[in-house]
Structure 1
Amino acid sequence: MTELQPIPDGPLRTGFTTGACATACTKAALQALISGERVTEVLVTLPIGQEHLFRILSCNLGQDTCSCTTQKDAGDDPDVTHGAIIGATVSLTDTGMIRFLQGKGVGRVTLPGLEIKPGEPAINPVPRQMMENACKKLLSENQLAHQGVDITIFVENGELIAKRTLNERLGIMGGLSILGTTGIVTPFSASSYIASITQGIDVAVANGSSELVINSGARSEKSLKSLFPDLPEFAFVHYGNWIGETLEKIALSPAIKKVNLGIMLGKSVKLAEGMLDTHSGKNTWNKEFVAQMAKDAGYPEELLDQILSFNMAGRLTELFSFASAEPFYQALLKACYENCSALIPSAELVIFLISREGEYIQYPNEFS
């Protein structure tokens, strides 16, 4: 998962999940296999009850199998799978069961802690249920309810696309996950990011981690990794902007005994004031609060006026040298610490304020 992108102005177009696309391909392929006629479009009922007509890009009908593809449209969401070609190959069996098989570009679960057990293709429960429902309905309508279906989901270039996600950190190897709980992609949705946070913590706990490093994204994590060379990859979790939700999830995980929180200056001034959602589009930094904090730390009036003239928090380093002994940063981190530690009373908390150059100030430390 990359650094978060700013939310564009104006109305945003919704899209469809990989799970909805996989269901469309599965239904189209089974329909073609049963009827003997190629399918060019298919109507899918989404989990929220809404119906959508998916266009089928290709329908390769053989004697015993059929493969169909569609192109994912994620709307205006900056989803790495937007535009991906998703497909399904189906075959009828005499098992009476609906089985999910791993196709090229779809990952395989290798670690415990996810909803899908290790060894299974990374197709989440809701997409599985969508495909199962679609298959059972078609089989029943065609007096084939006694038969089973093997479903192989694939994603073109899925292995490469997956490199831009956190799948490998979660133990999902070899490709993408087939996801979705509603069938709809809501642009810049907090729910999808928070779900990834929850998954990351669940995987860490299931694999024996008692210490986590939580950070806003790839940039801050890069600065922290050298400090924790012995921690496994899954012990690092991106909180994005959702520090509160991340800490609340940790509080529900008593196995976690220590939390190392990395944060950059822009988010830290918001966190110090108690903003646990630090998105720039939702909360802006409070210059008056920061100036008052500097005043309480003993800085002169002329410096406070300079703080009030700044248009961004990153400029604070022009006034305060980035060093542990600087009283301003001690006051800032103390406020951050108090707001966060209250949410995880059973775990030790250490905060690392990270500069643009990758330097850090640790709190608590000898100056605290």
Structure 2
Amino acid sequence: MRDPVTDFEYPAAWTAACRSPALLEDVRRGLAVLTASGSVLRRGFTTGTTAAAACKAAVLSLTFDTVSEVKVTLPCGITVTVPVDGYRGRASCWKDAGDYPSDVTAGLEFVAMAVPSLSGGVQFVPGEGIGSFARDTPRHRQGTAAIGEQALECILRSIDEAVEEAELCGTTVILTVPRGPEVAQKTLNPRVGIHGGISVLGTTGFVEPWDDHMTEGVLERVGRAAGRAVLTTGRLGLRYSRLLFPEREAILVGNNLAEALRVAGEDTVICGLPGLVLKFINPDVLDGTGCATVEELSATVLWKGIACRELAAFRALHPGVRVVIVDRGGRIIAESP
């Protein structure tokens, strides 16, 4: 059985040990993950998925009055049904974190207001509670809403689907997160230059229950792949790790690089985007740079010198571990000497 989200092939022993066979269908559909102990952990929905569901419900409720659920096609290609509360152009959706215990946005309400557009076309307006960038970054201009590319595509696609289903000429949708500014203080947003609210994100559309799944399953997989593992931090890192190191087994370990490296030992590759990788190597790497994020640092003249220094120091401590840092386009921007 293969996970359609991560492409991970579950060992037969895990399936045999499953304590809740009825839930294996959710695992096959990507709605849950199976762990080595046989437990099934439910994936949650990202802020991007929640926002898309609220927007779609608001538009549909212009025609159908009451809307209690909507179908959303996630960035990973899986279509899910999300509970909503939509009535006459206004809809709410509450973020479902699944079995991820540390999600500070769990239960957060997203509210969308939709009005018909007589002139046609679709307009999406990020409103109160959605953060914006306090200054220019390599990918965002100051003042733009903190909405990830995949999340925005999901939102716009969902609105377009609703316009077609509701047989409207067009619509304007305003999305707000009433408790966004309050909850954002519990996230990294203030430290990375995003103010006024939360970020709307979602590379796959799902929130992974990594806290438990990492402990029970992925570390065992890292151990089995010792000597031929590529440890990576996210979905883009996983994609590029497979392309750059086809002879090795690429394993997504998220924020758990330290634990995974202890299991993998030497002759290991770490490959990923600059943020998590350099922060893992040196949590204080941004001190004195004037940059709010490692990604911002990577676009400055300081990058080459700092990256070379940090990778050399890490290689001295871990001579058998190679580090390769890639940008979002898959280009190698730093690697171990």
TM-score bin, normalised by smaller chain: 0.5 to 0.7
User: What's the CA shift for 1:268?
Assistant: 9.0
Task: Determine the C-alpha separation between the residues in 2 that align with 1:97 and 1:199.
Answer: 38
| Matching residue of 1:191 | 234
Amino acid at match of 1:119: G
- Is 2:159 the partner of 1:159? no
1:1-368 equivalent positions in 2, closer than 5 A: 10=37, 11-35=40-64, 37-56=65-84, 58-61=85-88, 65-76=89-100, 78-113=102-137, 115-145=139-169, 147=170, 149-188=171-210, 190-191=233-234, 198=273, 214-216=278-280, 220-221=283-284, 228=287, 230-234=288-292, 256-259=303-306, 271-274=318-321, 343=335
CA contact (8 A) 1:32 1:66 kept: yes
User: What's the CA shift for 1:66?
Assistant: 1.7
Q: Deviations over 1:235-254 (max 9, x none)?
A: 5679xxxxxxxxxx95x976
User: What's the CA shift for 1:173?
Assistant: 1.4
SS in 1 for 2:56: helix
Q: Deviations over 1:322-359 (max 9, x none)?
A: xxxxxxxxxxxxxxxxxxxx8266xxxxxxxxxxxxxx
User: What's the CA shift for 1:24?
Assistant: 0.8
User: What's the CA shift for 1:95?
Assistant: 4.7
User: What's the CA shift for 1:77?
Assistant: 6.0
Task: Determine the C-alpha separation between the residues in 1 that align with 2:51 and 2:125.
Answer: 12
Assess, with a 3 A threshold, how the Cα gap between structure 1 residues 233 and 49 changes in structure 2: closer, same or farther. closer
The gaps in structure 2 that reach 5 residues or longer are 1-34, 215-232, 239-253, 255-271, 325-333
Task: Determine the C-alpha separation between the residues in 2 that align with 1:192 and 1:257.
Answer: 25
CA contact (8 A) 1:214 1:259 kept: no
Amino acid at match of 1:59: G
Amino acid at match of 2:187: T
| Matching residue of 1:303 | none
SS in 2 for 1:215: helix
**Seq. identity, %:** 25
CA contact (8 A) 1:113 1:199 kept: no
Task: Determine the C-alpha separation between the residues in 2 that align with 1:168 and 1:143.
Answer: 41
User: What's the CA shift for 1:93?
Assistant: 2.5
Amino acid at match of 1:40: S
CA contact (8 A) 2:203 2:235 kept: no
Task: Determine the C-alpha separation between the residues in 2 that align with 1:25 and 1:168.
Answer: 25
User: What's the CA shift for 1:166?
Assistant: 2.5
Assess, with a 3 A threshold, how the Cα gap between structure 1 residues 237 and 130 changes in structure 2: closer, same or farther. closer
Assess, with a 3 A threshold, how the Cα gap between structure 1 residues 168 and 95 changes in structure 2: closer, same or farther. farther
SS in 2 for 1:98: strand
CA contact (8 A) 1:111 1:170 kept: no
SS in 1 for 2:53: helix
User: What's the CA shift for 1:170?
Assistant: 3.3
- RMSD over equivalenced CA pairs, Å: 4.2
Task: Determine the C-alpha separation between the residues in 1 that align with 2:133 and 2:42.
Answer: 32
The gaps in structure 1 that reach 5 residues or longer are 1-7, 202-212, 239-248, 278-341, 346-368
SS in 2 for 1:41: strand
Runs in 1 of length 4+ with deviation above 6 angstroms? 192-197, 260-263, 267-270
Amino acid at match of 2:203: T
SS in 2 for 1:28: helix
Task: Determine the C-alpha separation between the residues in 2 that align with 1:102 and 1:198.
Answer: 27
What is the total number of aligned residue pairs between the two structures?
A: 238
SS in 1 for 2:174: strand
Amino acid at match of 2:46: T
